[in-house]
Amino acid sequence: MNSEKKGELSELKASLRQFAGSRAPGSTEAKRELFKKVISYMTIGIDVSGLFTEMIMGSGATSDLVLKKMCYLYLCSYAASNSELALLTINFLQKDCQDEDPMIRGLALRSLCSLRVKNLVEYLLGPLKTAIRDSNPYVRTMAAMGILKLYYLAPASCNEGEFVPALKRLLMNDPDPQVVANAVCALQEIFDKEAESGSGPNVNGKDWLLSKEVIYTLLNRIRDFSEWAQCIILALAAEYVPQEPDEIFDIMNLLEDRLQHANSAVVLATTKVFLHLTMSMADVHQQVYERIKAPLLTLISTGSPELAYAVLSHLHLLVTRAPMLFAADYKHFYCRFSDPSYVKKLKLEMLTAVANEANTYDIVTELSEYAANVDVVIARESVRAVGQIALQSYDVNGIVDRLLQFLDMDTDYITAETLVLVKDLLRKYPEWAESCVAVIGGVSHTAVSEQPAKAALVWMLGEYGQDVPDAPYVLESIVENWAEEESETVRLEILTAVAKLFFKRALECHRLLGRVLKLGTEDGNQDVHDRALLYYRLLQQGADVAQKVINPEKRAVNEFAETQSSEAKDRIFDEFNTLSVVYRQPSFQFMAKEQPKAGASSEEDPATPTGVLQGGGDFAHQELLSGAEKEEVAAPPPTASNGAETYSAPNVLDIMSGPPANGNAASVSGDPFATSTGAPVADNAPSSSGGGAGGLDDLLGGFGGQSTSQPQPPPPAPALQLVPRPTLDAGTFQRKWGQLPVGQAVEDSFAPAALAKLTTPQALLRHMASNSIACMASGGNAPTFRFFFYAQNADASGFFLVELIVNTAKGTASTKVKAEQAHLVEPFVQMYRTALQSF
Amino acid sequence: MISQFFVLSPRGDTIISRDYRGDVPRGTAEIFFRQVKFWKGGQEDAPPVFNIDGVNYLHVKVNGLLFVATTRANVSPALILELLQRIARIIKDYCGILSEDSMRKNFVLVYELLDEIIDMGYAQSTSTESLKAYVFNEPIQLDVQKLPNLGAASIFMNPGKRVPGTAVTKSVVSNDPSGKKREEVFVDIIERVSVTFNASGYIQNSEIDGTIQMKSYLSGTPEIRLALNEDLAIGKEFGGTGDLGMVLLDDCNFHESVRLDSFDVDRTLVLAPPDGEFPVMNYRMTQEFKPPFRVFPHVEEAGPFKAEVVVRVRGEFPSNSVANNVVVRIPLPKGTQRVSCEQEPGAVGQSTDFKEATKLVEWTVKKFPGNSEHVLRVKLTLAQERNANLKKETGPINMTFTIPMYNASRLQVRYLQILKKSKAYNPYRWVRYVTHANSYVTRL
């Protein structure tokens, strides 16, 4: 703060003092002006806490509401940092809490509860207790929120004071909807907090909130609530588990008209209720999709761009679950000139997702127009979208032509994007090599400056050099600039490409190869050096041996690895209508970084790739994150000290299954492109992940003779393998259950976090299903739920039947297992318990 | 739930800042603004939702001002964004207009409003009506005549969202200088049209997004009946494209206050309008309609280093309407070095501007009457002798315009009836139509 400001502040202080006790006519106006000045300083971040005494003296006794409110605002901002002086305010706040005017009572109570000073809690309890029973609803709304504020300040006093039962009473009986809504908010937060920490008298409070009685009370008067309160109640209803199918239809009929609401938050909240209620009824679920389509599209068209973005993010999630649903509506996702780039990017992804046989031609034509767009970012994304659609196997023929036409546009960034895509395409559809390579040969390498594009071009020259007459000479001139080539990825690419071309056109290339190997072995970069040396030694063993390692037969990549597991996607679906959908991450991934105290932690989580999370769009970035890194993020964040070890472990494993993104470990492979596009999944094992795993593996076993690279033996198979998706009809289950004796009975306990998730049994069912254990039936009332599961031995020899009884109040899980093959009970129970514990 | 709320000026100054929960440190306004300003190196618009170090930032942009909320909870993004938008509208209702200036003049009033709108981060009362009882500051209105409204801030405006021409700049709580409140209600039918013409001049894609917006200054919220076209059809109830002459909406949604009891019978909306501005109904239409403008571009070589782009624009709406501020943006080939624009003889109120960096000619026609035509000839000097891609590199041509008293969908308000309290009660009723270009693109 400069001295000028300091001067102003002390002047303010003096003026405030002067008017403090004054009741002269006009003094209220003068005080208002002074207070305004203080608040305006506060707004721009100047610390005016030094005026605390003067502010209280100046307003304590005033009856002017405008002045009072400004004083309250000031108090709530600075009381916490002036806890000693805050005591001075208690007197008049308490007095105001008993004022005749309900508005003053409400204002005073709100301020009193917002002071956030721990040692003043005792003064709060009395007024709060009175306010809950106040005759005026305005005061009661403040009281409901006041209890929540008290809970954060002093949970113990809150729980002793019988405030929670009072809130429950308000929720069930208060005539004013906003009082009810605030009671719901307060209870939900208190219950969630205690369930999360696993302690407190209301650990299982949520069960009460989700009981039929409460949900029906709220839903029956849903129209009385403000649109915001409706959203909160609908979010609660989405977690409700109906006891009989009729309920589902009752609730949906009741809420049907909410889908016509102009507020997108209400529509999305209703959508969530519909989707979650019908999870187990496939055909009704499908009808729900049909029903919500038009309202959601309307929200995108008529809302502000920000809301269009929020709704589009949800549509994107729905489309990945039901791609056919929007296939006919693809024109709705065409970009508009006026759309901001974050909307355009999402729309491009929607177009990619809905593309199918019928509409691919139209979509690709439209995308090609965007490629000529002045907006470079969108032009690039459009080219990528075209490539992405080609990889989805629709109308590859037409798209390859289109991609090659992009090269004619003679625009460097378009050329760059196109080269990378053509490379990916060739890995999946080698049969297109001939037509692509003819065009690629014509691309002037001097016009390509971006690193991934250059790497792609070099790779194609090496891989298809036999068909490009100039290939050796083009490579030669690229080698000329070795010293200027900053990217080691490109230098590694050059090494491999020249070596591969040598096997095809030895006469033209052997001098070039010699030169490159020399440059490589003298290179400052360790990876480049190592690879050059490796090639050199391999070649010493004979060209045949070297070729088998450097340029093995490749199989087309059938499917590029998904960047996200289906489990993560299900989690995001569970968290419909939350930020998870926008970020495309389950909440635990972005909520984990929560710091309870401001500025406490400076240790950055080493595994987190980026501090900034954004929704949508950035698929280029996501693609570059390899499976290895993804898993890192998913794993519980390692502490700073052991971060290094935890980081390396999955990496090592990953080399076996698919090369990591940064290309360090797998850089010796013959197909280095496995490194840049995420791990490829090949159609069968031996050549999986290109030459990456095989090549490295082979080298580890000595450079020796045998050619075909064997994959790393799989980890020791568990004694028992289960059928991933067992099938068993209910009748057979019942019969078997009746016939078989109990093989084993076990007692487990659930962690509180898992219990919290159990509010929707679907989460557990999905989790078990992902462990090859399917559900036959489930039911029960809180706190006791009963599940019947079954699984089948992989050799189809027999079934395992499970009865699970969960008591959410006690956190216990009692299991009875019956097996058709008694000797397998033991290993099965082991698998089952592991699955259960990991929930 | 919201932890903090703030309003920032286009330059990043904090105009309003309010902390509701105390669980997010101070200084977030600076962090937020830096992110938004330099998102991807300033190349892209920052998305409305992002997370930095565990704090979620949600924002909307209204009239150049940034309305921001921070939270640590996994909230519903739609809920928070709708709430931010609503807060902006309430402030506008109270201050008359929404601008940096009016916010600064009325910031104590705004704090007063915020106290009632949000408590502990949860939305409380957001109806302009019920807030009146709890707000005591008198709004300080800006002099409408001297409004710098369309100054620096307007370039940040969301195109087509708020309409300066139709916006009423009067606070809902202030009185007329005469001391008497004027009883009146405004109903605006605002349509945004999107049309894409392909290179052969056919309509490739078209849509109308419309809003029936109401702004009420009526005391005592009397019941209003708003009758729309009787032949209005919605969704697939009539199947296919509908009969000729029928107005067929794909879908629509309604404000909370609207009762639809007789809507299916006689297309009448019944509502008790809350104070202030709100959308009665939003609708979307993809039925074929007559586009108000057609653009006929022509590109030809005119010598070794020369080319000519001729753009003819025809207004195809009735001659009793006049389009305002028609702007035609023509991207030229990237090899363009110099440009000379030739307007038609006797052109009035037209101007052209060549933007060197983006190779874009911007042609403005201030007044463009219906059923008329204007032509612009652009002569280019090229860097290369021959350019095979000349046509490909020109365009797509984009247009923006506003046509008052015209709507493309033909959706009409048949009548606007206010339930009378007494014989003498005869409030002013205004029904206005306006059509904007949302995305009006002609490809070459």
Q: Tell me the chain B residues in contact with residue A234 when contact means C-beta distances shorter than 8 Å.
A: none
pLDDT for A60 equals: 60
Helix, strand or coil, per DSSP, at residue B56: strand
**Encoded amino acid at A397, one letter:** N
Q: Tell me what pLDDT residue A558 has.
A: 67
pLDDT of residue B9: 95
Span A340-367, mean pLDDT?
90
| Greatest Cα pair distance in chain A | 106
Residue A117 carries which DSSP code?
A: -
CB A806 within 8 A of CB A750: yes
Q: Which of A284, A283, A344, A356 is nearest to A319 (CA)?
A: A356
- Of A6 and A190, the structure prediction assigns the larger pLDDT to A190
Cβ <8 Å between B254 and A260: yes
pLDDT at B196 over 90: yes
φ/ψ of residue A234, rounded to 5: -65, -40
Mean pLDDT of the region A104-124: 90
pLDDT of residue A620 exceeding 50, the answer is: no
Query: What backbone torsions phi and psi does residue A797 show, to the nearest 5 degrees?
Result: -85, -25
Q: What is the per-residue pLDDT for A551?
A: 79
Instruction: Look up the CATH number of the domain holding residue A779.
Output: 3.30.310.10
A361 touches chain B (CB under 8 A): no
Q: Residue A232: list chain B partners with CB under 8 A.
A: 122
pLDDT of residue A662: 38
B105-156 confidence digits (pLDDT tens): 999 999 999 999 999 999 998 988 788 888 888 888 776 544 444 333 333 3
Question: Mean pLDDT across chain A, nearest whole number?
Answer: 78
Average pLDDT over residues A291-318: 93
Mean pLDDT, residues B214-220 taken together: 85
CB–CB of B328/B386 below 8 Å? no
Bin A20: left if φ > 0, else alpha if -120 < ψ < 50, else beta: alpha
Displacement of CA A444 from its chain's centroid (Å) = 41
- For strands B122-123 and B247-249, give the pairing: unpaired
Average pLDDT over residues B259-285: 90
Question: Is A380 part of a structural domain of the chain?
Answer: no
pLDDT band at A566 (very low <50, low <70, confident <90, very high): confident
Question: Is there a contact between A43 and B112 if contact means CB atoms under 8 Å apart?
Answer: no
pLDDT at A83 over 70: yes
pLDDT at B276 over 80: yes
Are the C-beta atoms of residues B276 and B172 closer than 8 Å to each other? yes
Q: Using CB atoms within 10 Å of the CB of residue A653, give its burial: 0 to 12 exposed, 13 to 18 middle, 19+ buried.
A: middle
Lowest mean per-residue pLDDT among A134-138, A224-228, A475-479, B342-346: A475-479
- What average pLDDT does range A342-366 have in this prediction? 90
> Which of A43, A225, A589 is the best residue to mutate to test the B interface, defined by the most B CB atoms within 10 Å of its own CB?
A43
Mean pLDDT of A442-455: 78
> Which of the four pLDDT bands, split at 50, 70 and 90, describes residue A21?
low
Percent share of chain A, pLDDT over 70: 81
Would the pLDDT of A652 be above 60? no
- Residue B328, classified by CB atoms within 10 Å of its CB into exposed (0-12), middle (13-18) or buried (19+), is buried
Low-confidence winner among A168-182, A727-741, A823-837, B298-312 (lowest mean pLDDT): A727-741
> Of A218 and A489, which is predicted with more confidence?
A218
More confident residue, A684 or A778: A778
Those of residues 574-633 in A touching chain B at CB distance below 8 A are 575, 577-583, 587, 590-591, 593-595, 598-599, 611-617
% of chain B with per-residue pLDDT over 90: 52
Residue at which a domain ends, from A295, A312, A332: A295
CB interface of A with B, residues 408-427, below 8 Å:
408-411
How many CA atoms does the CB half-sphere of A243 hold within 13 Å?
11
Handedness of CA B420, B421, B426, B431 (dihedral sign): negative
Answer yes or no: is A463 within a domain: no
* pLDDT at site A393: 67
Alpha-carbon dihedral B21, B26, B31, B37, rounded to 10 degrees: 80
User: Which H or E element spans position B200?
Assistant: none
Q: Which residue of B has its CA nearest to A64?
A: B136
Cβ A43–B17 below 8 Å, yes or no? Answer: yes
Q: Is the pLDDT of residue B345 over 90?
A: no
> Is position A284 within any domain?
yes
Do A295 and B125 make contact, defined as CB atoms within 8 angstroms?
no
Considering CB atoms only, which of B16, B24, B281 is closest to A43? B16
CA distance B414 to A692: 72
Asked whether residue A411 is domain-assigned, the answer is no
Question: Which of A40, A66, A310 is nearest residue B137 as measured by Cβ atoms?
Answer: A66
Q: Quick check: bond before B318 cis, omega within 30? A: no
- Rg (Cα) of chain B, in Å, rounded? 25
If one compares A15 and A108, the residue with the highest pLDDT of the two is A108
In order of start, what are the domains of chain B with their CATH numbers?
A: 4-134 (3.30.450.60), 159-170+182-289+406-442 (2.60.40.1170), 293-404 (2.60.40.1170)
Query: A513-522, A672-681, B113-122, B321-330: which has the minimum mean pLDDT?
Result: A672-681
User: Strand B397-404 relative to strand B322-331: parallel, antiparallel, unpaired?
Assistant: antiparallel
User: Is B14–A45 a contact, with Cβ atoms under 8 angstroms apart?
Assistant: yes
Answer whether residue A14 shows pLDDT above 60: yes
The C-alpha atoms of residue A171 and residue A217 are separated, in whole angstroms, by: 9
Domain boundary among A295, A310, A326: A295
CA–CA gap between residue A691 and residue A694 (Å, rounded): 5
Q: Can you tell me the mean pLDDT for A506-518?
A: 81
User: Least CB-CB distance to B60: which of A40, A304, A409?
Assistant: A304
Q: Which helix (H) or strand (E) holds A185?
A: helix A177-197
Do A301 and B136 count as a contact with CB atoms less than 8 A apart? Answer: no
* d(CA B440, nearest CA chain A) in Å: 7
Task: Give the lowest-confidence range in A128-142, A580-594, B289-303, B347-361.
Answer: A580-594
A450 to A402, A416, A456, A490, A498: CA distances (angstroms): 21, 7, 10, 10, 20
The pLDDT of residue A390 is above 50: yes
A458 belongs to a structural domain = no
Choosing from A239, A265, A295, the residue where a domain stops is A295
Q: Is A561 helix (H, G, I), strand (E, B) or coil?
A: coil
The stretch B42-52 carries a mean pLDDT of 90
Mean pLDDT of A196-208: 85
Tokens in use for A213? 């009685």
Chain A interface disruption, residue of B2, B59, B70, B76, most A CBs within 10 A: B76
The boundaries of the domain holding residue A818 are 730-837
Q: Is B387 a residue whose pLDDT tops 80?
A: no
Interface test with A, best of B4, B39, B49, B83 (most A CBs within 10 A): B49
Tokens of A30: 């003068």
Half-sphere exposure of A344 (CA within 13 A, CB side): 24
Which one has a higher pLDDT value, A670 or A433? A433
d(CA A643, CA A608): 11
- Identify whether A772 is part of a domain: yes
Lowest mean pLDDT among A41-45, A127-131, A555-559, B222-226: A555-559
Q: Is A238 part of a structural domain of the chain?
A: yes
Task: Please tell me the distance in Å from B194's CA to the nearest CA on chain A.
Answer: 8
Cβ-based contacts of B259 with chain A (< 8 Å): none
Using the predicted structure, report yes or no on whether residue A828 has a pLDDT greater than 90.
no
State yes or no: pLDDT of B75 exceeds 70: yes
Is the CB of residue A139 less than 8 Å away from at least one CB of chain B? no
Query: How far is the CA of B6 from the CAs of A726, B59, B111, B152, B319, in angstroms?
Result: 54, 9, 11, 21, 47
- CB contact (8 A) between residue A582 and residue B77: yes
Q: Is B252 left (phi over 0), alpha (psi -120 to 50) or beta?
A: beta
Average pLDDT over residues A389-405: 77
Nearest CB to B115 within list A69, A178, A307: A69
Task: Please report which confidence band the pLDDT of residue A423 belongs to, taking 50, 70 and 90 as the band edges.
Answer: confident
Contact between B205 and A305 using a beta-carbon 8 Å cutoff: no
| Domain count along chain A | 2
Residues 6+ apart with CB under 8 A from A450: A412, A413, A416
- For residue A758, being part of any structural domain is answered with yes
Q: What pLDDT is stored for residue A613 in this prediction? A: 64
Q: Which of A534, A516, A538, A536 is nearest to A526 (CA)?
A: A534
The interface predicted TM-score (ipTM) is 0.89
Give the residue on B whose Cα is nearest the Cα of A585: B74
Helix (H) or strand (E) holding A169: helix A163-173
Determine the pLDDT at residue A692: 36
Q: Which of A131-135, A199-203, A646-650, B28-32 has the lowest mean pLDDT?
A: A646-650
Q: Give pLDDT tens digits for A237-265.
A: 999 999 888 999 999 999 999 999 999 99
Q: Which residues contact A700 (CB under 8 A, 6 or more apart)?
A: none
Residue A149's identity, in one-letter code, is K
Predicted pLDDT at A289: 92
pLDDT at A342 over 90: yes
Q: Which bin fits B283, alpha (ψ -120 to 50), beta or left (φ > 0)?
A: beta
The confidence score (pLDDT) of residue B244 equals 60
